[in-house]
Amino acid sequence: MKVRAVSIGLLALCSTAVVAEQAGTSPRLPPGMAPGYLALDAVPDSAALLPPAPAKGSGTEARDKAAAKAALAAHNTPRWTFATSDADLFGPKATGALSCAAGFEISPQTTPKLDKLLRRTIIDFGFSTYRAKQKFNRDRPFEMNKRPICTPDQDAMLRKDGSYPSGHSAIGFGWGLVLAGLVPERATQLVSRGRAFGESRRFCNVHWQSDVEEGRVVAAAVYARLQADAAYQADLAAVRDELAGPRQPPARDCAAEASALASG
């Protein structure tokens, strides 16, 4: 229930933010949700950045359908389990998704400054996808194939939220980029895990392959824009100081994670 509540909070915030942007006002944040770094007018415009969602009958749509069909074979496998875990953006263990890739435990308790920074960027990376989502309003895979999703309690909510591009993919890949800048010696592992975080949405049967891919493009644009934000840079410096101290090893079973993610 908690995952559902906070996911609805993000969707409500992003939808409200689009309306607020058009009206020249500021959106209200749900209780407990940290604001992003970027002002609404500073967020890259995904509707202008991305090509249109794949047209019906196109080769890209055919590729998307083939990838969706292949992902369905992972239902109730370890990859499905990790995809379900990756769906949680706001729970206490959410930022820990990249702990194995980083080589140390990421959490509110062990890395509070890093955890806070990552949670703030959820709004920047997530909101960045919404102009395109609203413009293209693409149906999701489960609406067409009628197969299960890994968060069934979010079914009705997801039907009202455009599939293209994937906000989760933008957030996961964005986190990978942020962390790669902080822990450059683990850049390969971190960007790879950020990519897998987005691919989890395909295994959850809630996003098409092209949704996930274009989410990464949006993430790259937002990450580039964050480099010019003074508040982000100040927090980044504080996180570097935090990471210069002792680091705790990941609490997750990293071997099991690697095995599951190797399947896709």
Determine the average pLDDT of the residues in 162-166: 97
Mean pLDDT of the chain: 91
Q: What confidence category does residue 107 fall into, taking pLDDT thresholds of 50, 70 and 90? A: very high
- The pair of structure tokens assigned to 194 is 């950020």
Q: What confidence category does residue 11 fall into, taking pLDDT thresholds of 50, 70 and 90? A: low
Top-level class of domain 2-261: mainly alpha
Active-site annotation holds for 207: yes
pLDDT of 19 over the 90 cut? no
Active-site annotation holds for 168: yes
Q: Which of 115, 207, 216, 235 is catalytic?
A: 207
Provide the residue ranges of all domains of the chain, joining segments of one domain with +. Answer: 2-261
- The pair of structure tokens assigned to 5 is 């509540």
Residue type at 86 in one-letter notation: D
pLDDT value at residue 32:
64
Q: Which of 138, 211, 216, 235 is catalytic?
A: 211
SS3 229: coil
Q: What does R_g of the chain's alpha carbons equal in angstroms? A: 17
Q: What confidence category does residue 16 fall into, taking pLDDT thresholds of 50, 70 and 90? A: low
The whole model's pTM is what?
A: 0.92
pLDDT value at residue 5:
39
**Helix, strand and coil in the chain, % to nearest 5:** 65, 0, 35
CA 182 to CA 228: how far, in whole Å? 16
Q: How far is CA 91 from CA 15, 176, 241, in A?
A: 21, 18, 25
Q: Which of 120, 138, 168, 216 is catalytic?
A: 168
Question: Percentage of the chain with pLDDT > 90?
Answer: 85
Q: Which residue has the tokens 């009206």?
A: 23
pLDDT of 256 over the 80 cut? yes
CA 202 to CA 145: how far, in whole Å? 13
Q: Which of 201, 202, 216, 235 is catalytic?
A: 201
The conformational region for residue 122 under phi > 0 = left, psi -120 to 50 = alpha, else beta, is alpha
| Beta carbons within 10 angstroms of residue 228's beta carbon | 10
Q: What confidence category does residue 34 fall into, taking pLDDT thresholds of 50, 70 and 90? A: confident
Q: Which residue has the tokens 């920047």?
A: 124
Determine the average pLDDT of the residues in 71-94: 95
pLDDT value at residue 10:
58
Of 167, 139, 183, 140, which Cα lies nearest the Cα of 43? 167
pLDDT value at residue 263:
79
pLDDT value at residue 205:
98
> 30 versus 153: which is more confidently predicted?
153
Active-site annotation holds for 140: no
Q: Which residue has the tokens 């950020």?
A: 194
CA 219 to CA 263: how far, in whole Å? 24
